[in-house]
Structure 1
Amino acid sequence: MDPEGPTGKLCNWVHSLTLMDIPSDVRTRAKYLLLDGIACALIGAHLPWSEKAANAIFEMEPPGDSAVFGWDRKLGPLSAALLNSSFIQGFELDDWHSEAPLHSNSILLPALFAAVEHLSNVGGPVIDGASFLLAYLVGLEVGPRVGNGLYGTHMLSMGWHSGAVFGPPASSTAVCKLMNLPASLIEDAIGIACTQACGLMSAQYESEVKRMQHGFAARNGLFAALMARSGYVGIKKVFERPYGGYLSTFGQGSGQDPPYLPDEITKELGSKWQTYGVRVKPYAAMAGTHCTVDCIRKLQEEHPEQMKDFESITSIRIEMAEAAYHHGGWKPTRPLTATGAQMSNAYVAATQLVHGQVLAAQFRHDKLELDLVWDLVNKTTCHHNTEFTQKAMQRATVTFRDKPTLTTLVDAPRGVYPPLTNEEIVGKWRSLTRDVIDDGRRLEIERLCLGLEDIKDVMELGRLMHGITKNPIA
């Protein structure tokens, strides 16, 4: 190990970090973020595409020792991590990072819970809530730092599914911390994880595999940590290798100068907390569509009657920054899957116009073919405004026949600046799970999650995620 290189510095920091090194407000915030991830897992477990994935994996994989969230089934740790991640990513309601886009809960929670159960079944120690929280926080910090080394949102513009690329080192370091591995083995795990990083953003148009790509990161990071624990040697100095290294390879063709930023991985390590950058979604759509929703909402609030006159609308123009444009500015066509609908700014704008909200119910299969929505989609165009250097900024302009043109500019959507409060996250948790699990189970999960440091065995919480949940859009 080179202790002065970015890989070595990161591994030594991960190994030495204690819960008391982390500011109390960061620890508190992490527990609320974790609660949001559990909500997304439980409502995602029985969505149609989740059930399709689950049944296929149940058919091909034997039973194991790691619980499948929202089901009375168990699989091996790797398959459980993959499937549970796809549930958390199942309906675009999960967290994302504002600087380096990745969905941390879908990467960390499946890997950590699978690791806890697997270790228990092979004679490992009981993992308490404080140790689990510390490992979770390690993952929250590592993923965005690795992403910033590749210019964060720019990876989306290049066509990579950024979270699936940034996620394997986050998952591997979190599980390594859970197992209290030394820095040398953490380096092995990161090397094994990084060589498995991948994810194509073309998955967003019609495929269901978009829901699963963060699961590849969760599974591969878990696999890397368990292999390193057994002594299997990974790639050393993977972040700084000039030939075939993680940054040098993914940075090729980036068009940036320099092509990658290795110092970002350890910049202000232990003083700047990336957990602050994790955002919680109020809408069931890709994060880059949220400012579109708020632009339309603002116009609806300011001009309620005019915005209801759909027949008079002749055009809707949405202007956005680079990453949002490349990610969601494409033109959708019929037929469209729920995945594609949730990734399209044009479709989401029409959804907000017609339904007045963008939540799970608006993406049911019977809602995706509404002629009124599609009429508005076909009147919508998206544009990259090169003057928008603030990543979240968007402008919407709605032109009418024989009525004044309406326009509004929103600097950042609800949930970004400012982020949702802890109280708002609890409100989201209660609202999402109200019709999915019973009241007693919901209250107990909330109590254990928000009091995580006091739990002697984190599987008190894990067991409450095991067992049948309901389909939220049935």
Structure 2
Amino acid sequence: MGQSSNTPGVTKELCSWIYGLSLNDIPEEVRTRAKYLILDGICCALVGAHLPWVEKAARAVFSIEPPGDCMVWGYDKKLGALPAALLNSTEIQSFELDDWHTLAPLHSNSIILPALLAAAGQKRAKTSSSFDGTSLLLSTIIGYEVGPRVGLCLYGGHMLTRGWHSGTVFGHAASAAAVSKLLGLQQDAIEDALGMACTQACGLMSAQFGSDVKRMQHGFPARNGLFAALLAETGYIGIKNVFEEPYGGFLSTFGQSGKEPPYLVDELTKALGQTWQSDDIRVKSYASMAGTHCTVDTIAALQQKHADKLADLQNITSIKIEMSEAAMKHGGWTATRPLSATGAQMSCAYVAAVQLVDRRVSPQEFRHELLDRDVIWDLIDKTECCHTPELGEKYEQRVTVTLKDGEAITETLQAPHDVDPGLTNEEILQKFRTFTDGIMAPERRDRIEKIVLDLETMDDVSILENLLAAPTRSPIDVFWWLRKTIGMFASGAGMRVIDFSVHSIDLPSPNIYSLIHDI
């Protein structure tokens, strides 16, 4: 028999905290970091809006769903709240450039931002009500808190080793909690929303092996959590005590993992309001799955230390990449030719070859015509990925390259640079400026930046939505021109930025947007 709906426990404690939290309760540094994280999520969406697989998804959804009240970013079209949230999430997750949580893997922005802005768009159309930037910021921070806490209850990355797409399991509650706060739901209704969101949670990690749906899977919790909160707003009753319910509850069901104890219920509310999960949200430097980033940095370190030995790739006879169990199952699988961009970005062997050949792992390297290069597949055929228990459970990797003369050169790193120490706020801003340059007019880009970084002063989030809705250009073509332009003008005066591969580059002073269209 289930628990009484009035039984106190972690679910109600979490809902009480969500209901009572105000922006003044949140430290200034947490609020500031959240704004930069939001900016990165928007960057990823704008970059992703017109990638081929996102356009394919958009065509399908536009053909299925009637027009609605909510913006689809980069398309200047509107859909209903649920399909708009799904597509906008797909944009953020479209190129493996988005944020992730280091301890409880999920991509928070792709779950939270699409749901919140779709909820705001629907409410504005139905009731003429509006939401300000303060409400958006507060609700987003709540989403940043809830998703990772759910994941920590289930041993974080261990869900990946079991074959679950962890973010789609952890993320439903995050979306529901964030939207519930935005809508101003009472505590009981927040609990209903969480209960209805959690019963929809799922996600299979086999999606990583080349499917289009890998790009869309975080859109399911964005959509479903939004749906749950909208239902709860009408008085629809969800599962009570959904996290700690012993029979069929969220943790008791997803916690059947062989761990002891099966789940860690106290992690849901431990140090609420004192320890902030956004401290462990990281922003990506490379256009590939987070578990491949230590591979990139380790290969790059070898290239720097042994430039002469690795100048001729034919001198390599074998490559061994050692990693943790979670990284092995997520990125150490055997890649077979041909491979889609999705599969390539999820493969440590493929990404290692890209770094060796191109000396960077940017969106450009995953253009369709570059995926089947002989030089890449020759290196992949020489690569072995393996689980080495002594390397621990997280990001540490060791790469050993053996040369024709029998010499083996080795490098071990505990974590990639975008995990430890992680990108600073300034580096996130530089990423936004670099990756969005050329896909929209600079005036629009600058206005988005200013609005997000000064979010508390925005009276109506529709201002931001309208800026996101306008069409954008294909980023893959733009990045080709960016590289060409940088090569042509790098000798000119410019500012120092992170190029999000290995080394810094000098961006030219002339406006990239203008140069692209003048060439």
TM-score bracket relative to the smaller structure: over 0.9
* Partner Cα separation in structure 1 for residue 470 and residue 365 of structure 2: 27
Q: Paired residue for 2:299?
A: 296
CA pair 150-426 structure 1, distance change in 2 beyond 3 A: same
| Distance in structure 1 (CA, Å) of the matches to 2:338 and 2:391 | 32
Partner residue in 2 for 1:249: 253
Which residue of structure 2 aligns with residue 36 of structure 1? 40
CA distance in 2, matches of 1:310, 1:3: 64
Matched, 1:347 2:350: yes
TM-score under structure 2 normalisation?
0.90
Name the structure 1 match of 2:231.
227
Separation of aligned partners in 2, 1:297 and 1:453: 40
Taking the aligned partners of 2:128 and 2:115, their CA distance within structure 1 comes to 16
Cα distance in 1 between the residues matched to 2:417 and 2:369: 28
Could you say which residue in structure 2 is the equivalent of 1:111?
115
The equivalent position to 2:455 in structure 1, one of 452, 455, 458, is 452
Do the aligned residues in 1 keep the contact of 2:325 with 2:393 (CA within 8 Å)?
no
Residue identity over aligned pairs, in percent, reads: 59
1:92 to 72, 89, 96: 96
1:470 alignment partner, one of 473, 487, 496: 473
> Is residue 412 of structure 1 aligned with residue 415 of structure 2?
yes
Contact 2:201–2:221 (CA<8 Å) still a contact in 1? yes
Higher normalized contact order (CA 8 Å, seq sep 6+, divided by chain length): 1
Alignment match, 1:198: 202
8 Å CA contact 1:445–1:464 kept in 2: the answer is yes
Match of 1:364 among 354, 364, 367: 367
Q: Is the 8 A contact 1:95 1:278 kept in 2?
A: yes
User: Is the CA contact 1:82–1:219 (under 8 Å) kept in the aligned structure 2?
Assistant: yes
Greater CA deviation, 459-468 or 154-163? 459-468
AA aligned to 1:402 is: D
Match of 1:315 in 2: 318
Q: Which ranges in structure 2 are unaligned for 5 or more consecutive residues?
A: 478-519
Aligned counterpart, 1:377? 380
Distance 1:32 1:386 in 2: 36
Deviation per CA, 1:318-360, whole angstroms, max 9, x where unpaired?
A: 0111111110010100110000000000000000000000010
Q: Tell whether the 8 Å contact from 1:88 to 1:105 is kept in structure 2 after alignment.
A: yes
Residue 226 of structure 2 aligns to a residue whose secondary structure is helix
Post-superposition CA distance 1:300-319 (Å, at most 9, x none): 11111211221111110001
Once the two structures are TM-superposed, the CA of residue 388 in structure 1 deviates from its matched residue by 1.6
Aligned match of 1:435: 438
Match of residue 264 from structure 1:
267
Structure 2 counterpart of 1:179? 183
**Equivalent position SS for 2:439:** coil
Of stretches 118-127 and 417-426 in structure 1, the one that deviates more from structure 2 is 118-127
SS of residue in 2 equivalent to 1:417: helix
The 1-side partners of 2:346 and 2:6 are apart by 42
Give the drift of 1:404: 2.6
Aligned length: 473
Letter matched to residue 417 of structure 1: D
1:8 aligns with one of 1, 5, 12: 12
- In structure 2, the residue matched to 1:283 is 286
SS state at 2:401 partner: strand
Give the SS at the match of 1:90. Answer: coil
Runs of 4+ in 1 over 4 A off after TM superposition: none
Q: What does residue 131 of structure 2 align with?
A: 127
From 233, 243, 248, the equivalent of 1:239 is: 243
CA contact (8 A) 1:3 1:9 kept: no
> Could you tell me whether the CA contact under 8 Å between 1:145 and 1:265 is conserved in 2?
yes
What letter matches 2:356 in structure 1?
Answer: L
| Mapped contact 1:107–1:170 kept (Cα < 8 A) | yes
Q: Unaligned stretches of 5+ in structure 1? A: none
Is contact 1:319–1:396 with CA below 8 Å preserved after alignment?
yes
SS at match of 2:74: coil
Specify the SS of the correspondent of 1:213.
coil
Within the candidate set 45, 56, 70, 2:49 is matched to 45
d(CA) in 1 for partners of 2:391, 2:407? 25
